[in-house]
Amino acid sequence: MITNPNHPARLEHNVVPGSPRVRLDAWVADVARLTQPDDIVWCDGSAEESRRLTRQLVAEGKLVELNPDLRPGSYLARTSANDVARVEGRTFTCSVDEDDAGPTNQWRDPVEMRAELDGVFAGSMRGRTMYVVPFSLGPVGGPLSQLGVEITDSAYVVLSMGLMTRLGDRVLREINAGTPWVATVHSLGHPLRGDDGALQEDVAWPSNDTKYIVQFPETREIWSYGSGYGGNALLAKKCFALRIASVMARDEGWLAEHMLLIKVTSPENHTFHVAAAFPSACGKTNLAMLQPTIPGWTVETIGDDIAWLKQGSDGRLHAINPEAGFFGVAPGTGTLTNPIAVETVRANTIFTNVALTDDGDVWWEGLTPEAPAHLIDWTGADWTPSSGTPAAHPNSRFTVSIDQCPTLAEDAHESFPLDAILFGGRRATNVPLVVQARDWKHGVFLGATISSEQTAAAEGSVGSLRRDPFAMLPFCGYNMADYWSHWLDVGDRLGSRAPKIFQVNWFRKGDDGSYLWPGFGDNSRVLEWILRRVENRIPAVRVPIGEVPRLRDLDVSGLDVTRDRLEQLFDVDPDSWLAECDLTEEFFAQFGDRVPPEFADVLRSTRYSLHSAR
Ligand code: PEP
Ligand code: MN
Ligand code: NA
The CATH number of the domain holding residue 45 is: 3.40.449.10
Same domain assignment for residues 481 and 368: no
Instruction: Look at the chain and count its residues.
Output: 614
Residue 199 DSSP code = B
Q: Is 285 annotated as a binding residue?
A: yes
Cα gap 172→161, rounded to integer Å = 15
pLDDT of residue 281: 81
pLDDT, tens digit (0-9, with 9 covering 90-100), for 468-494: 999 999 999 999 999 999 999 999 999
Best substitution site from 83, 84, 86 to test ligand 1's pocket, by max atoms within 8 Å of Cβ? 86
Residue 414: exposure state from Cβ atoms within 10 A (0-12, 13-18, ≥19): middle
Closest C-alpha to ligand 1, atom 2 = 231
- From 342, 369, 404, the end of a domain falls on 404
Q: What is the CA radius of gyration of the chain?
A: 25
Best substitution site from 88, 306, 397 to test ligand 1's pocket, by max atoms within 8 Å of Cβ? 397
Best substitution site from 163, 257, 280, 400 to test ligand 1's pocket, by max atoms within 8 Å of Cβ? 280
Determine how many CB atoms are found less than 10 A away from the CB of residue 288: 28
Same domain assignment for residues 400 and 419: no
Determine how many CB atoms are found less than 10 A away from the CB of residue 382: 9
Closest C-alpha to ligand 1, atom 5 = 231
Q: Of all residues in the chain, what percent carry a pLDDT higher than 90?
A: 93
pLDDT of residue 377: 98
Same domain assignment for residues 607 and 481: yes
Q: What atom in ligand 1 is closest to the CA of residue 231?
A: 3
Task: Report how far ligand 1's centroid is from the alpha carbon of 231 (Å).
Answer: 6
pLDDT of residue 5: 30
Residue 304's domain is classified under what CATH number? 3.90.228.20
pLDDT, tens digit (0-9, with 9 covering 90-100), for 11-51: 444 445 689 999 999 999 999 999 999 999 999 999 999 99
More confident residue, 457 or 236: 236
Domain membership of residue 81 (yes or no) is: no
Domain membership of residue 121 (yes or no) is: yes
- From 378, 404, 430, the end of a domain falls on 404
Same domain assignment for residues 369 and 508: no
Domain membership of residue 136 (yes or no) is: yes
Q: Is 4 annotated as a binding residue?
A: no
279 lines ligand 1 (CB under 6 A): no
Query: What pLDDT band is residue 462 in, cutting at 50, 70 and 90?
Result: low
CA 365 centroid distance within chain: 22
pLDDT, tens digit (0-9, with 9 covering 90-100), for 347-372: 999 999 999 999 999 999 999 999 99
Determine how many CB atoms are found less than 10 A away from the CB of residue 492: 10
Closest C-alpha to ligand 1, atom 4 = 231
Domain membership of residue 68 (yes or no) is: no
- From 369, 404, 439, the end of a domain falls on 404
280 lines ligand 1 (CB under 6 A): yes
pLDDT above 50: residue 456: no
438 lines ligand 1 (CB under 6 A): no
Cα gap 565→552, rounded to integer Å = 14
Q: What atom in ligand 1 is closest to the CA of residue 395?
A: 2
Neighbours of ion ligand 2 (CB under 5 A): 305
Same domain assignment for residues 98 and 158: yes
Task: Report how far ligand 2's centroid is from the alpha carbon of 287 (Å).
Answer: 13
Average pLDDT, the chain: 95
> pTM score, two decimals?
0.96
Are 514 and 520 contacting, i.e. CB atoms less than 8 angstroms apart? no
Closest C-alpha to ligand 1, atom 6 = 231
**β-pair type (350-352, 75-77):** parallel
Distances (CA, A) of 77 to 84, 189, 397, 405: 11, 18, 10, 22
Query: What pLDDT band is residue 455 in, cutting at 50, 70 and 90?
Result: low
Cα gap 227→233, rounded to integer Å = 6
pLDDT of residue 330: 97
Query: What pLDDT band is residue 429 in, cutting at 50, 70 and 90?
Result: very high
230 lines ligand 1 (CB under 6 A): yes
Mean pLDDT calculated for residue range 493-497 = 98
Task: Report how far ligand 1's centroid is from the alpha carbon of 394 (Å).
Answer: 12
Number of domains in the chain: 3
Query: Sign of dihedral through CA atoms 50, 55, 60, 65?
Result: positive
Residue 282: active-site member? yes
327 lines ligand 1 (CB under 6 A): yes
Show Cβ contacts of residue 355 under 8 Å, excluding neighbours closer than 6 positions: 362, 363, 364, 375, 376, 377, 378, 383, 391, 392
Same domain assignment for residues 336 and 444: no
Cα gap 357→264, rounded to integer Å = 37
Catalytic residue among 43, 94, 239, 282: 282
Domain membership of residue 2 (yes or no) is: no
**β-pair type (397-401, 325-329):** antiparallel
Facing residues of 212 across strands? Answer: 225
Same domain assignment for residues 330 and 474: no
Domain that holds residue 440: 257-324+412-613
Question: Residue 373: what are its φ and ψ, rounded to 5°?
Answer: -70, -30
Same domain assignment for residues 300 and 195: no
Determine how many CB atoms are found less than 10 A away from the CB of residue 269: 8
Cα gap 82→554, rounded to integer Å = 47
**β-pair type (420-424, 271-277):** parallel
pLDDT above 90: residue 213: yes
Q: What atom in ligand 1 is closest to the CA of residue 86?
A: 2
Cα gap 151→184, rounded to integer Å = 6
Task: Report how far ligand 1's centroid is from the alpha carbon of 365 (Å).
Answer: 18
* 494 dihedral zone (left: phi>0; alpha: psi -120 to 50; beta): alpha
Domain membership of residue 561 (yes or no) is: yes
Same domain assignment for residues 372 and 423: no
Residue 389's domain is classified under what CATH number? 2.170.8.10
Closest C-alpha to ligand 1, atom 10 = 280
Q: What atom in ligand 1 is closest to the CA of residue 234?
A: 3
Query: What pLDDT band is residue 461 in, cutting at 50, 70 and 90?
Result: low
Same domain assignment for residues 288 and 194: no
486 lines ligand 1 (CB under 6 A): no
Facing residues of 215 across strands? Answer: 93, 222
Closest C-alpha to ligand 1, atom 1 = 231
Same domain assignment for residues 461 and 553: yes
Q: Is 576 annotated as a binding residue?
A: no
Same domain assignment for residues 530 and 441: yes
Cα gap 402→404, rounded to integer Å = 5
pLDDT above 80: residue 573: yes
